[in-house]
Amino acid sequence: MEPDPVAAGASSSPPPSPAPATSPPWQTRDDDEPGAVDCADPGGDLNPAPPPSLQQGTVENAAVGSEVEQEEPKKEAMAGVGETLRSFMEFGDQGEDSIILSPRLKDISTPDRPAALGFLGEKYNNLMERYKKYKKQVVKCSEECEPRYNGLKKKYTDECAERRRLYNELIELRGNIRVFCRCRPLSSDEVNRGCLSVVEIDPSQESELQFVPSEKERKPFKFDHVFGPEDDQEAVFSETVHVVRSVMDGFNVCIFAYGQTGTGKTFTMEGVPENRGVNYRALEELFRTSEKRSASVAYTFSVSILEVYNEKIRDLLDESNDQSKRLDIKQNADGTQEVHGLVEAPVYNIDDVWEKLKFGAQNRSVGSTNSNELSSRSHSLVRVTVRSEHLVTYQRSRSHMWLVDLAGSERIAKTGVEGDRLKESQFINKSLSALGDVISALASKNSHIPYRNSKLTHLLQSSLGGDCKTLMFVQISPSSMDSGETLSSLNFASRVRTVEHGPARKQVDPAESLKFKQMTEKLRHEEKENAQLNQSLQLMQLKYASRENVFRTLNEKVKDAEQACRNYQQRIRELESELGNEKRVSRDSARSSRPPLVPTRQKQPHGRNAPPSGPSRWRLKAPTIHNKENIPVMMNKSNPGDDPNKAVGRARRVSLTPVIRQIPIQPKRRSSIAILPSVREHLSVLNEKRAASRLSQVNMPRRSVATFGLNLGPGTPLAGHGGPVDATPDGAKFRRFDLGSSSSKFTSPPPNVTPQRKMGMAPAGGPPNAAKLCFSIQKRVTPAHVRAKPGMGIFDPALRENMVVGRTGNALRVLNGKRRQSVV
Ligand SMILES: Nc1ncnc2c1ncn2[C@@H]1O[C@H](COP(=O)(O)OP(=O)(O)OP(=O)(O)O)[C@@H](O)[C@H]1O
């Protein structure tokens, strides 16, 4: 008989303790301990620690067991071993990888138990080997895969976040109304009534739900976020907070809850004291953000609470609670809607807010219907006004946040109301259907949006279709009893989601915007003035530049004139001295030829400066010459370059030359210099007339103009250089100025006339006035299209021949035509 290894094990072990009933015999106690497997020891039920012989898996165990087989106390344990084997046999049926193939052990009788145990041990060891091998592979594999898994997981998370961000951006750009769907849990009442859930929400699909009214029907709906029955208020607000924060950045925000009665609209918006909703949390967030930004922006908050009940607006913060007080919606200048006379209570902390919310809730019209014990019978609206001023830029903004808890949509027939309650329901349904119409019109981009069909839509006009960030909670019931309403709410919400009202824009304080408008106007006006001033400044600068040029030219002319004056004076002195010499010579010769009969009375010289040389004893009495100021001036010959004025009082010798007077210029007709043999007479007649008309307007002598520096033709009246021109220096000066001014006044300058030319300065190619005169005549004689460039025309021989001389008739016509134009 083979030794019983179990008996051996039992002898060396402490008394067996029962294994936990729940753990299967093969369950691993410690992964790293191969021997610590319950199934290694079929008698594990009896011995927690398997016998060492069994762990080695040899048949020696059987021999050891046989030695103690006859011991009385261990017989009881044998019975236990039998139980264990039976259990193994049963487990053997459970699968391919079962430890024992049951058919082989089924018929093992008690005496063969040790052999069976040996077999089991062997099997166990084989399995352990395989386990170790696989474990190593698994560890290796997991080591290899883990980084990849982590990387992929991170990538997936990042992608999800990016997708969400992009989606939100898209929504912002398109100005879509965000729609969150919230499904409440089945109420105990509904469970008792045996209602089933018709809504399926997959937690991994956070924006999708399936509406399953029956086994055959299944309709998916997509929203911006779907909250299931297990999602709490915090989870809901964590998705809402981004929209709430926008109001702090100057955007208008509107959050409203829509749904059938009793689906949790009030629960979502207001919540309960121990589990507060969006209203309270949003205001808490506003104060928190204001605290954070206090270093750069100063915020002030105020709250208004109103309700729309039976198409009437009631102020819920009005302490008088005057039911007769009517509040109307008026449109502001900036196009926004405003309820005039609405109480706007300032709030400084969240406790103030809570007080106001409670006060408003007390005033709210609440009725009771069969659908819901505390069903709200009016639309409740909380308006939070946020005013901000940037402490650095002083930029101000004013934005509103509307928190709206709509009255429940319901089927009147279902609720079974009558009388006042029926009327309320009708009003509620009317306003909700007006809301539906507005949404439909917005979704289909109609030109007319019927906002004014109800007070509710009129109030929410800028929130639904304006530059506002809008978030809608569609509240649904999962109950199969409400599947009709749930489906219509889901359909309505899907339509709302398609509405695009353009990107939201930041709001500025109306007072501020008025100020900005005025400033813009002022700025525009000043800009206009500036432009005008700039223009006149440029003109002045041009004038100044031309004046400077004139001044410079005049200066040069003055210098020239002074030089000429000096030259004349020098010349005068020379002539005087020559004259003196000649006189002396003639006197001397007369004296020598005619001896004096009586002694000559000699006159003593008066001056200190007697003539330095000369043979004569006669002294000339110096005639007094007056300078411009009538101061007697003596010319000092010893210093001819000196200023004559400086010689006052010193010089005794004066010039004998008579005072030079200006030769009067006879005002005469202006003479033409054009060399037009065949048309000379016509030209002279024309010029005579023209000169006469001009000279009648100007008193200045003008005749010298035409002759100065010109190579006149022989037939012209002013031909030659020796005309009646003033020969004095002053006259020369005068001529020069006259030349410049007259030419600029009475002749049109050529198109490219320069200031220098205008001032009478000589152009590079010839005398200054030649070009002007040429132009003057050319302009009158030559057609405009022929006058390609100044200087061409009648002074161009070929052209002259062609245009004037060769075609006298044409020239005359042109001349007459031009003359008419000129006269006009
Ligand atoms: N998500 C939720 N989790 C737990 N309970 C909820 C949830 N939503 C709603 N409830 C419960 O359902 C009941 C009805 O909710 P609530 O009064 O907010 O509905 P309602 O839509 O505002 O109704 P009404 O249109 O009549 O105002 C309340 O007792 C509320 O506590």
Q: Express each pLDDT in 199-236 by its tens digit.
A: 998 877 778 899 998 888 889 999 989 999 999 999 99
pLDDT of residue 286: 93
Confidence of residue 368 (pLDDT cuts 50, 70, 90): very low
Q: CB–CB of 10/16 below 8 Å?
A: yes
Instruction: Specify the residue for token string 């306003």.
Output: 431
Q: Would you say residue 683 has pLDDT above 80?
A: no
β-pairing verdict for 252-259 and 225-227: unpaired
User: Cα of 185 to ligand 1 centre, how many Å?
Assistant: 10
Residue pLDDT, tens place only, 757-776: 444 444 444 444 544 544 55
CA distance 623 to 625: 6
In percent, how much of the chain has pLDDT > 90?
A: 21
Q: Would you say residue 552 has pLDDT above 70?
A: yes
- Arithmetic mean of pLDDT, 51-66: 40
- Going by alpha carbons, the residue nearest to atom 12 of ligand 1 is 264
Amino acid at 620: L
SS3 for 220? strand
pLDDT of residue 227: 93
For residue 165, count other CB atoms closer than 10 A to its CB.
Answer: 10
Residue 260 labeled ligand binder = yes
Task: Establish whether residue 378 lines the binding site of ligand 1, counting it when its CB lies within 6 angstroms of any ligand atom.
Answer: no
Task: Establish whether residue 266 lines the binding site of ligand 1, counting it when its CB lies within 6 angstroms of any ligand atom.
Answer: yes
User: Cα of 281 to ligand 1 centre, how many Å?
Assistant: 18
* C-alpha closest to that of 814 among 713, 623, 682: 682
- Arithmetic mean of pLDDT, 322-335: 77
Q: To which H or E segment does residue 161 belong?
A: helix 113-174
Q: Would you say residue 477 has pLDDT above 80?
A: yes
Residue 266 labeled ligand binder = yes
DSSP assignment of 693-745 equals: HHHHH--S--HHHHHTT----TTSTT-SS-SS---SHHHHHHHHHHHHHHHHH
Residue pLDDT, tens place only, 768-823: 454 454 455 455 544 554 444 444 444 555 555 555 444 455 555 655 665 555 54
Of the two residues 815 and 429, the one the predictor is more confident about is: 429
- Arithmetic mean of pLDDT, 643-649: 45
* C-alpha closest to that of 285 among 231, 220, 353: 353
Residue pLDDT, tens place only, 599-625: 555 555 554 444 444 444 444 444 444
Task: Establish whether residue 184 lines the binding site of ligand 1, counting it when its CB lies within 6 angstroms of any ligand atom.
Answer: yes
CA dist list (Å): 403 to 59, 91, 239, 508, 613: 82, 64, 16, 21, 123
DSSP assignment of 388-450 equals: EEETTT--EEEEEEEEEEPPPB--HHHHT--THHHHHHHHHHHHHHHHHHHHHHHHTT-S---
* C-alpha closest to that of 741 among 754, 724, 757, 760: 760
Give just the sign of the alpha carbon dihedral 91, 94, 96, 101.
positive
pLDDT of residue 689: 60
Q: To which H or E segment does residue 168 belong?
A: helix 113-174
Instruction: Specify the residue for token string 């048309």.
Output: 679
Q: Would you say residue 516 has pLDDT above 60?
A: yes
Which of 234, 236, 267 for mutating ligand 1's site (highest number of atoms within 8 Å of CB)? 267
- Arithmetic mean of pLDDT, 18-40: 37
Residue pLDDT, tens place only, 165-207: 887 777 777 677 889 999 999 999 888 988 888 999 887 777 8
Confidence of residue 8 (pLDDT cuts 50, 70, 90): very low
* Predicted complex ipTM: 0.98
| Ligand 1 nearest-atom number relative to CA 232 | 1
CA dist list (Å): 600 to 166, 514, 581, 584, 617: 132, 110, 21, 16, 11
Q: CB–CB of 776/802 below 8 Å?
A: no
Residue 70 labeled ligand binder = no
Q: To which H or E segment does residue 579 belong?
A: helix 510-593
- Arithmetic mean of pLDDT, 131-137: 90
Task: Establish whether residue 477 lines the binding site of ligand 1, counting it when its CB lies within 6 angstroms of any ligand atom.
Answer: no
Question: Of the segments 35-39, 477-481, 554-558, 604-608, which one has the largest average pLDDT value?
Answer: 554-558
- Arithmetic mean of pLDDT, 663-685: 51
Q: Round the average pLDDT of the chain to a whole number and report it.
A: 69
Of the two residues 503 and 408, the one the predictor is more confident about is: 408
CA distance 441 to 448: 7
| Cα 789 to the center of its chain, rounded Å | 53
Amino acid at 751: P
Residue 264 labeled ligand binder = yes
User: Cα of 377 to ligand 1 centre, how many Å?
Assistant: 14
Task: Establish whether residue 260 lines the binding site of ligand 1, counting it when its CB lies within 6 angstroms of any ligand atom.
Answer: no
